[in-house]
Amino acid sequence: MRGFLRRACADAGDADDLAQETFLAAWSSLWNYRGGASFRSWLCAIAWKKALTLKRGRGRERRRMEALSEPTRGEICPDARLDLTSALSALPAEQRAAVALCLGGDFSHAEAAHALGLPLGTIKSHVQRGRAKLLAALGGGDD
């Protein structure tokens, strides 16, 4: 498993961590193993999914850091900032938090669900409904 992950990740430290996470995940979901494929391929599938998740997470983190280091294109006018603050404060607390994380903080829906301790579907609904309410309150179109 470590050999596969070392070749797939090109980083020995990440591969070791992912191997450990893979075995923990396999142990906790051993009841899911159906026996249709070999046990080894089942483990490798778990490891590969973990590796992809790590890669996606690092990509998001890199994009966040790049966005923070980029100069701002222009300041939001004070009136628009007040309108946005007012529209956000009108949202229910959980919806406001989901919108702030996903739309304002560039969190994925899964990251926001984990951070807020809510189901993924609930986060997706909160973001969609919150975005629609913000657009309506700010007089924007739905594009």
Indicate if 59 and 106 belong to the same structural domain.
no
Task: Give the N- to C-terminal CA distance of the chain in Å, as an integer.
Answer: 46
CATH number where 27 lies:
1.10.1740.10
Question: Which residue, of 17, 41, 69, is where some domain finishes?
Answer: 69
0.75 exceeded by pTM: no
Closest residue by Cα to residue 109 from 45, 119, 47:
119
Identify the CA nearest to 120 among candidates 105, 101, 93.
Answer: 101
> What would the two tokens of residue 101 be?
């994380």
The pLDDT score that the predictor gives to residue 25 is: 92
* Confidence label for 109 from pLDDT (cuts 50, 70 and 90): very high
74-107: per-residue pLDDT in tens? Answer: 555 555 556 677 788 888 888 888 888 888 888 8
Banded model confidence at residue 111, pLDDT cuts 50, 70, 90? confident
Q: Give the domain CATH number at 82.
A: 1.10.10.10
Question: Distances from the Cα of 26 to the Cαs of 6, 18, 36, 47, in angstroms?
Answer: 19, 12, 16, 9
Range of the domain at 60: 2-69
The Cα–Cα gap between 96 and 9 comes to 37
Q: For the chain, what is the domain count?
A: 2
Last residue of a domain, one of 14, 37, 69: 69
Kindly state whether residues 57 and 86 are assigned to the same domain: no
Residue 45, domain member (yes or no):
yes
pLDDT category of residue 141 using cuts at 50, 70 and 90: low
